[in-house]
Amino acid sequence: MTKPEPPNPRKNTLGDISVFYVNALLRAVRHERCSAQPLIDQFNLNERLLSSPDARISIPRYMRLGHAAIKLTGNPALGLAMGSLSRPVDIGLAGLAALTSETIGDALEAIVRYFPLTSRNSRGQPHMAAGSSQAHFYSIRPYNAFNFFVVDSVLSTWVQLIRELSGHHHVVERVSIEYPSQGLEELFTQWFDCQVAFSAGENGIQLAEGVRALPSLSAQPALNRLLLSDCELRLKRLRSGWTLREQVKDKVTPMLEQSAPSLESVAQEFGLSPWTLQRKLAEEGTGYRQLIDETRKELAEDYIRETVLSLSEVSWLLGFSTPAAFHKAYRRWFNVSPGEHRKTLRAQDYG
């Protein structure tokens, strides 16, 4: 018997993802001739959660789910299998907007632009410049066995949808993957039908020549305009009502790696002078250094609770100069060492 989903689950600062992707992953597991029930039971994926259009789970929980699915199926490339089975409806309204777009370029831009409607990542959102043939995707780092499949599934889903909409198999000329090769180069090259570069600077795909301008086989301009309008409205609702404090914390989070971003660099992101940003934050009862500290604290707890990253890796991700500086800050925040806190939090969550 599964445990009921908490009525108000705690927000995870590392990010969250729609159950659309969870259902797609479970379908891939079943396609591998395995029962998905053990995963449903282990991760408390009750029917109410899986059937709710607005339900999300934390990115770390999704990563653990994917890792467990790979162990269950014995398929280290389960992310590619998930991509092979993907359908436009599996990514919600963004998928439907892509489905009805006039060209492949328009479709890919819709998928990337409206990705936040179904996923939020502390490293940032996918991006694609207008008119470009390149689309990029961010995943939580450092990489390990828990998040390889996330990159695999996202990039393969993009490519599979492009294949379906264009009617062509060879649609990308290059795939870039941040994590190191796991010995599956031949399989990845065969699946993507192009060069796949591991240990790359970014995760992304480069459309093959001429693919961006190809007409979509399911183009429906009138419906597409309606869907794009709905996507834009929902995107604005996601961001509406944010205080400057919340906007700064959101902007700072993906900039923390190795060192804390300067006030000047963050102010520039908002098109403000450092003094003006400080003044506006003061009007909301806070300051830049205080927001950096709050952001680090929130992220630290989730990294410690939700991931298997070493303490030195967490220290680097939060922008501390040394692991010792991170330990000192963690004791100030929680009155306990990060190692001891991890044991306590794990016991609470899984005991």
For the domain that residue 260 is a member of, what is the CATH number?
A: 1.10.10.60
Q: pLDDT for 317-339, tens place per residue? A: 899 999 999 999 999 999 999 99
Q: Which of 325, 27, 92, 340 is nearest to 230 (CA)?
A: 92
Q: Which of residues 178, 208, 237 is at a domain's end?
A: 237
Q: Which of residues 237, 269, 298 is at a domain's end?
A: 237
Reported pTM: 0.84
194 and 95 within one domain: yes
Q: For residues 50-70, give the mean pLDDT.
A: 92
Q: pLDDT for 9-37, tens place per residue? A: 446 788 899 999 999 999 999 999 999 99
213 and 252 within one domain: no
314 and 200 within one domain: no
211 and 310 within one domain: no
> Does a structural domain hold residue 105?
yes
229 and 100 within one domain: yes
Q: How far apart are the first and last CA of the chain?
A: 17
Q: pLDDT for 254-304, tens place per residue? A: 888 878 899 999 999 899 999 999 999 999 999 999 999 999 999 999 999
Residue 324 CA to residue 340 CA, distance in Å, equals: 15
Q: Report whether pLDDT(96) > 90.
A: yes
115 and 258 within one domain: no
Please give the structure tokens belonging to residue 148. Answer: 């390889």
How many domains are contained in the chain? 2
228 and 146 within one domain: yes
165 and 91 within one domain: yes
Q: pLDDT for 172-185, tens place per residue? A: 999 999 999 999 99
Q: Report whether pLDDT(5) > 70.
A: no
> Does a structural domain hold residue 24?
no
Helical (H) or strand (E) element with 315:
helix 311-317
305 and 227 within one domain: no
> Does a structural domain hold residue 274?
yes
103 and 227 within one domain: yes
Q: Which of 261, 334, 269, 270 is nearest to 303 (CA)?
A: 334
With contact defined as beta carbons under 8 Å apart, do 88 and 114 qualify? no
Q: For 246-272, give the DSSP string.
A: HHHHHHHGGG-SSSPPPHHHHHHHTT-
Q: Which of 203, 235, 181, 55 is nearest to 123 (CA)?
A: 203
Q: Which domain holds residue 251?
A: 244-350
207 and 122 within one domain: yes
With contact defined as beta carbons under 8 Å apart, do 122 and 253 qualify? yes
Residue 149 CA to residue 78 CA, distance in Å, equals: 7
